Structure formats: structure tokens, C-alpha cells
Amino acid sequence: MSNLTGKVAVVTGGNSGIGYASAESLKAAGAQVIITGRSAEKVAEAAEALQVEGIVADVSQLSAIDHLVEQVEAGYGKVDILFVNAGIFAPAPIGQISEEMFDHQMGINFKGAVFTIEKFLPLLNDGASVINLSSVNAYTGMPNTAVYAASKAALNAYTRTAATELAPRQIRVNAVNPGPVATPIFSKTGMPDEQLNGFATAMQNRVPLKRFGQPKDIANLVVFLASDDASFITGGEYNIDGGINVNPLLAAN
């Protein structure tokens, strides 16, 4: 396992799913971990279970990010690992996309991610690792995901530019593109259980490995990218999707 002893890690959206699993794995590798989330109750529960610090912050609100940065600086001074994980998924077909839905998804998935990095930048140590949670949906053209996919494609473009500009400080910036992963993000869409189950079955059948990923699968990659083992890796996008993106014809069978 990668050694993160002495490192300080911040995980946005760390109270469930991929964020929770990554916080758990980062701590197991030796890091001091701070998780954030929008729900005070869920952040408190997760922080207690993980035995890490939890801070309530809604990344769609720049003032909340400012307050988060202030708290982290007061408690820890500097940050070595920033996992920009907070995000939402709200499916809608083209022709039924509302301005509110567009602003909400873009506000968290892209604007929130960009300004999380912008505002944490003064706290990042030289040689720090920034990891952005994106999605293979940035490339798949999956129906009903136009805005979600666009938010993740924008985040990947930002990742590449940020990696170039921050290289003089040896700050590495990479994106992780999961495929379908068993997390609560789908249940938060408001879709009825029957529709969710049908969606899950259809998605699983399209994955060449014929299973959903688990949050721990993504967490393992996050820990690697956060560590000195990945010291020559920046500006990269890493698909972790059971093969759905690299072999869509096989996945469709």
C-alpha cells in the first residue's frame, strides 16, 4: 500500500460512496483526513465512523468554500492531497432540460470543483496531489446525461490546463473517470425504485466485466494518485469502468 504518513488530505463529498471509501483508504495509508459534505447529520455520522474530521460545506456556495478553507488552514496549515469528489447526477432528456437543473449540476460538478481548487491553492504544499472525480460519461454519449456529461468533460479540460500551469510547483492534477459504481448517487435522483433497478440492470449488462464497480475500486486508484508512487503522473485521465468505454461494442452485446 502507498505510504501517506504525515500527509493532510481533504475529501469533498466524503460522507458517502466514493468519497467515503477514499477517505477510509487515505486514512489507512497514513494520511490525516478531513471530509466535507452538505448534510451536517451525514457528515457527522461519517466522520465519527471514519474517525476523521468532518466539516459541513456546500461547494455550490463560494462563501462555504471560503469558510472550509479557513477551517482547514486553522487546523492543519497546509494540504498535501485534495480529492475534489463532490458531485451530483440529475438525468434529463434533451428537450426537458431546465435552467435550474443545468445551473445546479454545473454549479456543483464544474463551478464547485474549479473554485474548490482555486481557493485551496494557497494551502497546497509544493508537490501536492489534486485528484478530480470525473466520469466516463464525458465521452459515452449516454442518453439523458447531456448536462452531467458536459460538466465532467469541462472538468477534464480544466484538469489538463491546471496540470500544465501548476507543474512549476510540482503540483500534480489528475482526473479519475469511473464507469457505473454502486453508490447512493443514483438513489438521489428521485427515480422510483423500479426504474432505478431497470437502469442498474441495463448498465451492468453493458459492462464487459459484467458488474458494477465498488467505491473501494475507485479509492484504490485515488490513493495511488495521491502518493509519491505517482510522482511522475499529471494531466492524466484514468478510466476505471470495467471496460465500458474502451470496448463499447462488446459492452452492447
**32-37/172-178 β-pairing:** unpaired
Reduced to 3 states (helix: H, G, I; strand: E, B; else coil), residue 81 is strand
Kindly list the distances between the CA atom of residue 156 and the CA atoms of 10, 62, 116, 133, 148, in Å, as whole numbers in the listed order: 20, 21, 15, 9, 13
Q: Which residues contact 229 (CB under 8 A, 6 or more apart)?
A: 2
CB 10 within 8 A of CB 120: yes
Active site residue 148: yes
Say which of 20, 76, 148, 158 is annotated catalytic. 148
Q: Hey, how many other C-beta atoms are within 10 angstroms of the C-beta on 205?
A: 11
Place of cell 480529492: 83
Known catalytic residues?
A: 148
